[in-house]
Structure 1
Amino acid sequence: MKTTLAHKIFDLTGKVAIVTGSTRGIGKVIAEGLAHRGVKLTICGTQLPEAEKTAKIIQDAGGEAIAIQADVTKRQDCANLINQTVAYYNQLDIMVCNAGINTIKPALSLLEAEWDAIIDVDLKGYFNCAQLAAQHMIQQGTGGSIIMNSSIASVVGIPGVAAYTAAKGGVNQLVRTLAIEWAAHGIRVNAIAPGYMENIMEGSKANYPDLATQEQLIKTFIPMNRRGKLEELVGPVVFLASEAASYVTGSILMVDGACSAM
C-alpha cells in the first residue's frame, strides 16, 4: 500500500508541461526527465530547428512532444506558446520557466543593453509565461504548477553578475507574490535554485587562467566538493510538479550542495 501511495503522489502521467529554453542545458534535461515520467511536453526555444531536435529525441524515446518557437521577451510569442500548446493537447498543467541568459562583467562596465537583455529574458520572460499560463489554468479550472528556475545567485552576492543576480532575486520575490495571489485558484508557484552545475550557460565563462584553477576556486564554495549534475535537477522539478508537493507553494528549493548554507 505504501509503495502504491508513493507512486501515485509522484505520478505525472498524462500531464502537459511547457519548458521554456528547453533546447539545451538545464531545460533540455528537465524536459527529458519529465517526459520519462509520462508528461506530454512542449519544447520551446528561440530557434525552431533546435526545439524540433529536442522534441524528436523525446519522441524517439517513446514520449510525446511538440516544438514551438518563442522568444519569452515578446508577449505575443508567449501567448502563442500557451495557445498552441492548449490547442494541441487540450490542457496545460505545468509551466517551467527556465529560459535564461547571462553576461559576466564588472558592474562598472556593464552596458545598459546588456542589463536590459538579461532582465528581459530572466525576469520579464518568466512573468510573461507565468501570467499567461495561470490565466489558462484558471480558465481550465484544474489548477496547476508553475516552476521557475532561479539560482544560488538569488540569495548570495556573486561578483561580475549584477544583472543576473538582480533578475534571479526578482524571480524569488515573484514566486512568493504569485504563490499568494494564485493559491485560491489551486495554482502552486515555486522555484528551484541551482548552485554551480556541470552546465555552464552561454555568456557565463569567467576569465580564469585555466579551467583547473576555475574549478578549484568554485569547489571551495561547495561543501559537497563538486558541481551538480544536470540530472539532479529533475527530481526537484518532478516533486514540485506533482501531488507530493500539493501543500508546497511560494518556496525556493535550493539545489546547491549546501553552497548557500555556508
Structure 2
Amino acid sequence: METRELTYFVTVAEELHFGRAAERLGITQPPLSRAIGQLERRLGATLLERTSRQVILTEAGAVLLQEGRAALDAVAAAERRARRTALAATGRPSVVLASKAGASAELLAKLLHAYDAEPDAACVEVLLCGPGQQEGLLRDGRADVALLHRPFDSIAGFDTEELMTEGQVLVLPAGHALSSRTSVTLAEVDSLADLPLPRWPQRDGSYPDGPGPEVRDLTQLRQLIALGRACTVLPESVRADLGEGLTCVPVSDAVQVTTVIAWPPHSRSRGVAGLVRAATAR
C-alpha cells in the first residue's frame, strides 16, 4: 500500500464525499475514484459503499481509517524527526519542548534556566498547548520532548522521568462562599450550579455536552472564573500564577498529579538528553 493511496482513502473517509475530498487533495475526482477502486481490489475488500446520494464507510473501511491515520502520523513523525536530526548535524541543533500552557510554569522556567546554563545547550523551542495536546505533539513528531501529567496524559510508549507529584485545587473567584474553606470535595465541586466546570475541545475539535462554557486555553478560562462564570480543578502548582480576582482551595479527594518529562525511546538527540539531565538534577 502506498502512502499516496492511504492519504487518498483517509481523506475520502473523513469527508464521505468524493468531490470534497478531491478538492481538499487538489486533484480531480476521476483519478481519486480510480485510486480508491484499485486499493479495494488489491485488498479484496469494499471500503466505501457508494450510492448516488451518499458515501458510507464499511466495517473494513473503518478499520483502515483508524489504522491509516496512525500510519500516516507515524510517517510524518519520522520525516519531522529526520529533518531535525539532519539540521542538528549541520551545527544548528534545536529541541522542541511541548508543555500545557499555564501548567508547571515554575517547573518549566527552572528547567529551561538550568539547561541554558549548560555549555553545549541546544536552542529550545517551547510549544505551549491546550490540555492533553502535548502528548499528541510528542507522538506525531512535532515535539522532541514534553511535560506530561499522569494520570491525565498517557505515557505509553515513551521513556519518562518523574519530576514532581502534587495535589489538586479548586480555582474559583475570590470572595466566593467556598473561598474561606480549608478544603472541598469533588462532589461539592460537581454540585456548584453557579460555577460550572469548563468544556475543553475533544480530539476531533468538537465540545462535549454540558452546562459549562467552551474554553480553548487557560487564559480564557481564568477570565471566565474571575467573572464568576466557571470554576476548574488544577494541580496545586497553579497557585504560583493565579492572577488577580482568583483564589484556590485544596480538593481533598482529588487524585495526585505526577508531572513527568517524556521522550520517544528511540531518540538519539543530545539536546533531549541534556534537557532530561537538567530536569532530573533539580
Class of the TM-score when normalised by the shorter of the 2 chains: under 0.3
**TM-score using structure 2 length:** 0.23
**More strand per residue: 1 or 2?**
2
Larger radius of gyration between Structure 1 and Structure 2: 2
